């Protein structure tokens, strides 16, 4: 055993056990997923696809990848699945390679309004080699849809620029996405509709968020976050021709050998998500998010768009803390035992490394068995942290309370 490595891993285990995980893109996997990811499946090179490998000795790897594919298709009610992408970002790049040439245009939501770096950030390959044109949110505070997707503006942008692809699905958007409206716009301007459901995949699988199918031409997602599986990517479609293009874009277009231990974990994850209990889990994620949002709103916090329909919320801190940044608040919260990330808000006056907001999510706390009562307690702790403006004594007192609190909600085992 490598004592130095496992000493660090043990410290991380204790950190997770004794803190409240509120990062919207993180979760706690089951022991079965953990065991699969740490299995002997990591030892094998399996370039290619089931039945068409470039190496011998892949019989069991063919079987487990085929199982993962079949479970993914059943889970999302689609005809084709590629389970090999190493991450959500690599899944997105594979789709870009399948549908576009360098320099081609696609439409997406700007990162500062809730998009993702792989949706057109200039320093990312999606912004370096392709040309994003961005559609906005609704910014009129008198509009009932304030800080939600402006579908009329999406249509205008697409009709003006004629992108090859319309991309929807976001990393910091707390409301329902209307995939049917997006498909209507894509059809009108002659674009493919790509839906990146990395954040909401588990909610889609659990039936508490509308599915991108049958509207999407292609769907990408991660397998962690709300889906509660290993860190990895997934691409889905109902179209055989698109499926062939996707397979070629993943391998050999953008990846070499698949991570078979991660694919094994994906197979376990999809199997767990097909169980009836997962629907209840997904429902509880949303209930907890709305309870946390209510607890924060009741304590005077402003939430972007006024609340949440899914697993996450964006907290605009300026009303409570006009002189402090989201980054400062995230540091204070960590000292108190709550893990969150600073995040930009729409029209944020501060730079991305500072921000005026924090992003909170409830997948991980739901996995630990917490409910609406605990969400209100978490809202109270957040409020106390912020009122204290980082007072060391206050943070230390809350940290003790949270350590004791976490003993009642063990990690999945």
Give catalytic status of residue 139 as yes or no: no
Q: Is 346 exposed, middle or buried (0-12, 13-18, 19+ CB in 10 A)?
A: buried
Choosing from 148, 221, 222, 226, which is the catalytic residue? Answer: 222
Q: Which residues is 309 bridged to in the sheet?
A: none
Q: Using alpha carbons, list the distances in angstroms from residue 211 to 33, 177, 376, 400.
A: 25, 9, 30, 42
Give catalytic status of residue 45 as yes or no: yes
Give catalytic status of residue 47 as yes or no: yes
Give catalytic status of residue 376 as yes or no: no
Give catalytic status of residue 225 as yes or no: yes
3-state class of 69 per DSSP? helix
Give catalytic status of residue 222 as yes or no: yes
Two tokens at 60? 């069991």
Q: Residue 349: phi, psi to the nearest 5?
A: -75, -10
Choosing from 17, 26, 44, 47, which is the catalytic residue? Answer: 47
| Residue 134 neighbours by CB under 8 Å, 6+ apart | 107, 108, 109, 110, 115, 120, 157
Question: First-to-last CA distance in the chain?
Answer: 23
Rg (CA), the chain: 21
Within its chain, how far is the Cα of 98 from the centroid? 22
Could you give the CA distance from residue 107 to residue 185 in angstroms, rounded to a whole number?
A: 11
Choosing from 17, 44, 45, 302, which is the catalytic residue? Answer: 45
Could you give the CA distance from residue 92 to residue 120 in angstroms, rounded to a whole number?
A: 11
Within its chain, how far is the Cα of 252 from the centroid? 26
User: What is the set of active-site residues?
Assistant: 45, 47, 196, 222, 225, 231
């Amino acid at each position: 055993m490598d004592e130095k490595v496992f000493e660090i891993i043990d410290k991380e285990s204790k950190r997770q056990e004794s803190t409240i995980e509120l990062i919207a893109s993180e979760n706690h996997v089951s022991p079965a997923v953990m065991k699969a990811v740490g299995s002997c499946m990591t030892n094998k090179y399996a370039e290619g696809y089931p039945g068409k490998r470039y190496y011998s000795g892949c019989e069991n790897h063919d079987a487990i990848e085929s199982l993962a594919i079949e479970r993914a298709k059943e889970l999302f009610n689609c005809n084709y699945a590629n389970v090999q992408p190493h991450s959500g970002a690599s899944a997105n790049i594979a789709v870009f390679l399948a549908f576009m040439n360098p320099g081609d245009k696609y439409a997406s939501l700007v990162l500062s309004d809730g998009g993702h770096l792989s949706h057109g950030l200039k320093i990312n390959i999606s912004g370096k080699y392709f040309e994003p044109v961005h559609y906005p949110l609704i910014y009129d505070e008198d509009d009932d849809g304030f800080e939600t997707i402006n579908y009329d503006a999406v249509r205008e942008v697409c009709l003006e620029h004629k992108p090859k692809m319309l991309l929807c699905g976001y990393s910091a958007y707390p409301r329902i996405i209307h995939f049917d409206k997006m498909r209507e716009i894509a059809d009108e301007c002659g674009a493919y509709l790509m839906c990146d459901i990395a954040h909401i995949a588990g909610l889609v699988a659990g039936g508490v968020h509308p599915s991108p199918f049958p509207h999407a031409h292609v769907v990408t997602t991660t397998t962690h976050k709300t889906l509660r599986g290993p860190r990895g990517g997934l691409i889905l479609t109902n179209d055989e021709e698109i499926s062939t293009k996707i397979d070629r874009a993943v391998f050999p277009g953008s990846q070499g050998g698949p991570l078979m231990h991660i694919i094994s974990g994906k197979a376990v994850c999809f199997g767990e998500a097909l169980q009836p209990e997962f629907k209840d889990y997904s429902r509880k994620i949303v209930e907890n998010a709305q309870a946390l949002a209510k607890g924060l709103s009741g304590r005077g916090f402003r939430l972007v768009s006024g609340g949440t329909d899914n697993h996450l919320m964006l907290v605009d801190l300026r009303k409570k803390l006009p002189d402090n940044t989201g980054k400062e608040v995230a540091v204070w919260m960590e000292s108190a035992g709550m893990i969150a990330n600073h995040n930009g808000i729409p029209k944020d006056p501060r730079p991305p490394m500072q921000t005026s907001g924090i992003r909170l999510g409830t997948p991980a706390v739901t996995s630990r068995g917490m409910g609406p009562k605990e969400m209100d307690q978490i809202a109270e702790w957040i409020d106390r942290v912020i009122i204290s403006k980082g007072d060391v004594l206050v943070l230390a007192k809350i940290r003790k309370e949270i350590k004791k609190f976490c003993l009642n909600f063990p990690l999945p085992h």
